Amino acid sequence: MRNFISVRDVSDLKKLLERAKENKANPFENLVLGKNKTMVLLFFNPSLRTRLSTQKAGLNLGMNVIPMNVSEGWGLEFEDGTVMNLDKAEHVKEAAAVISQYADIIGIRTFAGLKDRALDYADRVIRQFATYASVPIVNMESAVLHPLQSFTDLFTIETYKKKERPKVVLTWAPHPKALPQAVANSFLEWMQKTDYELVVTHPKGYELAREFTAGCTIEHDQQKAFKNADFIYAKNWSSYEEYGKILSTNPDWMVTEQKMALTNNAYFMHCLPVRRNVVVADAVIDSKRSLVIEQAGNRAVAAQTVLEKLLEKQNS
């Protein structure tokens, strides 16, 4: 594995899942792999889970980890050939090359701006770091994708599924703020690597980019979608079509006990952070079928498994 930017960087997903299982059982087996290796984590946006779980994953492998809030550094320029006489003090070309001298792995969190769809979907920040850095890049949620989350989600479903081909439903839910599509895009990208029965449900106008939904069943009737589901994965995203807009905050789309009763006693999943009683009712998130805390715990397992792959490639 050269970088970890999308599921396409994974050559053998089955093996990766097996390794994650081993890491969950024995997290301290590989403490020397990352000895004298440094990971720099760059945060252009806030984080709780990604920051702590990726840091912990590095520590479990014996790495040194340096997190940095990029807003505390120089403003970075990503445009090529620009005359840098405005607010940006440093170009990504220098920044990525310089950090590569201090770091063996660079993690990057850079949310979608939700203003310019073409710019966001070019995933410029993470792609440019991958171009100008000389060390592997780990995607800690980019404008388009959140693969550490999706790997975690797949691993969690694999742990809890009771049949070979569970019905997994990705449901849109309301939110007062415009959120990126990255978690939903990435979830679909990883789920499409399985043979699960996959259904996406959302109000009209919330269609995700075709490249992620091709081959998915789309059901605009949420209650119909929930029927016989084994896993309900809730997430809000803003419109892709009317880019970055909130088209609905209809509370009827919240995940409630009544809707969960339509399922096959489904587990409830969410990547967190979640707005209680907006996205999901207390009774659902606090129920025994809620996997949200375990999911967050598994973030460290997924990150450790990915870092191992990158370090093994570097050491070979």
Residue 48 binding partner per list ligand AN0, ligand CP, none, with a CB distance cut-off of 5 to 8 Å that depends on partner kind: ligand CP
Q: Which stretch binds ligand CP (CB under 6 A): 42-50, 160-168, 218-226, 278-286?
A: 42-50
Size of the site for ligand AN0 (CB under 6 A): 7
CB 157 within 8 A of CB 168: yes
Give the nearest residue (CB) to ligand AN0: 179
User: How many CB atoms neighbour CB 75 within 10 A?
Assistant: 11
Give the C-alpha separation, 138 to 108, whole Å. Answer: 6
Residue closer to ligand CP (CB basis): 225 or 306: 306
Alpha helices in the chain (DSSP H): 13-25, 49-60, 92-102, 117-121, 124-132, 147-160, 182-191, 210-213, 222-226, 257-260, 282-285, 292-315
Helix and strand counts by DSSP (H, E) for the chain: 12, 11
Q: Give the per-residue contact string, 219-258, with ligand AN0 (x = CB under 6 A; - = no).
A: ----------------------------------------
Q: Give the per-residue contact string, 167-206, with ligand AN0 (x = CB under 6 A; - = no).
A: ------------xx-xx-----------------------
Residue 180 binding partner per list ligand CP, ligand AN0, none, with a CB distance cut-off of 5 to 8 Å that depends on partner kind: ligand AN0
Buried (b) or exposed (e) across 248-276, using 16+ Cβ within 10 A?
A: beeeebbbbeebbebbeebbbbbbeebee
Residue closer to ligand AN0 (CB basis): 209 or 262: 209
Structure tokens at 13: 């997903």
- Residue 271 lies near ligand AN0 (rule: CB under 6 A): yes
Greatest distance between any 2 Cα atoms in the chain: 60
Q: Which of residues 107-146 bind ligand AN0 (CB under 6 A)?
A: 141
Query: 3-class SS at 60?
Result: helix
Residue closer to ligand AN0 (CB basis): 183 or 284: 183
- Measuring CA to CA, which residue among 199, 284, 273, 198 is closest to residue 236? 273
Q: Which of 20, 198, 271, 281 binds ligand CP (CB under 6 A)?
A: 271
Residue closer to ligand CP (CB basis): 151 or 226: 151
- Residue 50 lies near ligand CP (rule: CB under 6 A): yes
Structure tokens at 257: 């006990």
Q: At its nearest, how many Å lie between ligand CP and the CB of residue 147?
A: 11
Q: What is the DSSP letter of 242?
A: T
Q: At its nearest, how many Å lie between ligand CP and the CB of residue 195?
A: 26
Residue closer to ligand CP (CB basis): 109 or 259: 109
Give the C-alpha separation, 85 to 173, whole Å. Answer: 43
Q: Which of residues 133-172 bind ligand CP (CB under 6 A)?
A: 141, 149
Residue 205 binding partner per list ligand CP, ligand AN0, none, with a CB distance cut-off of 5 to 8 Å that depends on partner kind: none
Residues that bind ligand CP (CB under 6 A): 47-50, 141, 149, 271-273
